[in-house]
A and B are shown apart, each in its own frame.
Chain A
Amino acid sequence: MMRTSSRTAAAKGVPFSSSPVLALKLPAWRSRFVLFVLFAAFLALIGRALYLQGVSTEFLHKQGELRYARTLELPATRGKITDRNGQVLASSLPVKAVWAIPEDVLEAPKSKLSELAHLLDMSDAELRNKLDSDRSFVYLKRQVEQDTVDKILKLDIDGIDTRKEYKRFYPEGDVTSQVVGFTNVEDAGQEGMELAQQKNLAGVTGSRRVIKDRMGRIVEDLDAVREPHDGKDLTLSIDSKIQYIAFTKLKEAVEKYQAKAGAIVVLDVKTGEVLALANLPTYDPNDRSGLTGAQLRNRVMTDSFEPGSTMKPFTVALALDTNRVTPNSTFQTAPGVMSIGPAVIHDSHAHGVLTVSEIIQHSSNIGTAKIALGMPAEEMWDMFTKVGFGQQPKFGFPGAVAGRLRPFKSWRPIEQATMSYGQGVAVSLMQLARAYMIFARDGDEIPLSFQKVTEPPVGQRVISEKTAREMRTMLETVTGPGGTAPKAQVPGYRVGGKTGTAYKVVNGVYATPRRYIGSFVGFAPASNPRLIIAVMIDEPGGPVHFGGDVAAPVFSEVAASALRSMNVPPDSTVTNIVVPTDSSEEM
């Protein structure tokens, strides 16, 4: 059909070349117009290309990067805290924070939600409470350990995700908590050395911009990497072995004497390092729910108390150093009562005539007061200040107190007398322990350190070497027969020290009925002291409350174990010690 029709068309007779359509004469502008349009289109394309390449390239680059470049945060780890032998006291490990988009999560089936609650260690209601929020982002739980996180992610609930963070672990728990302190969930120090050394311990987070391929692998760095800087590790001066001994012995004593609180500090005489520092009550830094202020308080550093008789050696040392007395000068202390102006001071027992040495040994208030009244107030104030009383300590420990020592110009004679045996002044146990350095160290005072000391510090002379030696001999008699602290004796070692039993001051006045603080500060071994140990037992509740009874035994036990663990050779052949029953002679 087709064929025939085309044939007919051809047959009808007009050959192609003479087709009338071809002969049609179009106006010339039409072809030019088409040419122009085509040319203009090309121009537009070139213009567009130039625009993309030249003018808007930055914008396009950005858009491109958005699709394949990622900024990664490079977390920095907080530095570890170790003891002097490298034992870890605090270390950060990565954990996860579990967060949720409440809207999405609430759509999950009930059974899954209750399983989630179970894994997060909370009740269904608690979880619902957290999810019942208008916000689009809710932390369900922070610092969740990896095992648990894996299980949670396996539940495959929509809208649950995790974020990397760090958790601090404290293997020693409550034993070292008072020194080390702790951090909050943001890994920032809150107490103790964690707070004091926050700047050094905290790391600096880094970042890098990278290109990732479609598998999520990093292919290339875009900018220079901002390296993360991990926090510096901190080596404390603490010896965890001595710390453990000090802590357990203190705990035993506090329980045995039903005391309200207790504190102990052990110092290295040669380097000024704090080898141990413990407080009771204390807390476990790994579980800080239900913490009270009393548990948190570092009594060694932040509590000041009236030291009582532990002050006497400083008064006596000053008198010896200025050649006002010798160890054998005598003072009449009978009848055990002495009036100074309108006030009266007492000895717990009347002693009669005592030498200076015996005044220390029996801890006579009257004897000390008589020595003190022979000296100008300014000199005494000077002495107390030089050994650090009333001075803000530079230990680098948060909250360390200065104690209280009034300016000498306002001292009345009765105050000068009572201050000579430690009433009317307030010191912290740390200050007291440090002050005893002048006796243990042949007369000079060195700065204390909570961090490991590599080179021996330079001392500052307070009293002469001769005075220091004489004082050591006197303080040794305190722990001998007839002294106030025979219970401080250590088998195999000669030790010296001084007891103190002070009335507790509450709101500026002595508490009634009388409440006591029993203390003992001593050094060992006496021939060449290596350790200073200061013990304070706060408000012993039992029948005994004298420093020689409640604090001295702690000193003895800690000194014995610590000296042994430090391999200090014994300097005494006495191995059998007869410890008398509770003494009653003391102030």
Chain B
Amino acid sequence: MAKKESTFINMVIVLFLVTLIASASLGIIYSITKEPIEKAKVAIKIEAINKVVPAFNNVPLNESLSVKQDKDSLIIYPAKNDGVTVGTAIETFTNKGFGGKIKLMVGFLPDGTIKEISVLEHKETPGLGDKIENKKSDFSRQFVGENPEEFKLKVSKDGGDVDAITAATISSRAFCDAMQNAFNVYKSLDTENDSTTVKK
């Protein structure tokens, strides 16, 4: 069978048809995968929240608050048991990481102490900056149980209370920056009433 001739009209029709069929197929696949993709994203968030706050029976994702900062946002997830706040998970970030953005999920107890920290995303150097991860070193353990009102969230080089990771000062500083952002937002919550509005 001879190939179709390269006349102008043939070329236009074929290219148009190919693109049309392609777009249609993709549209279908997109609508099929839309929900699972959303579900996967939500599952990751819920897993992180579960790790950093005590047991709760509300749906933090439905009561979340967003605070804009630096072209992105910090997100507050209140965790409540029978309507009483047992903890607040804050999705925070910093752009000052060695490899770029670092995202953390920090859990605060109602008295302001840090319950737990989970690293969501980072691009720090393997073997050095990646020690901010829980399973790679105890760096993040020193924050647990501390209240940032007294525990200064800066590395000791900068006059704070945090022991930096050896040879990974930039990553350690960035981690503290993300923690400070989270704490600042936490303090601004109207906790006298409930953790669902930000103090003016």
Asked if chains A and B come from one complex, the reply is no
Interface positions of B (Cβ within 8 A of A): none
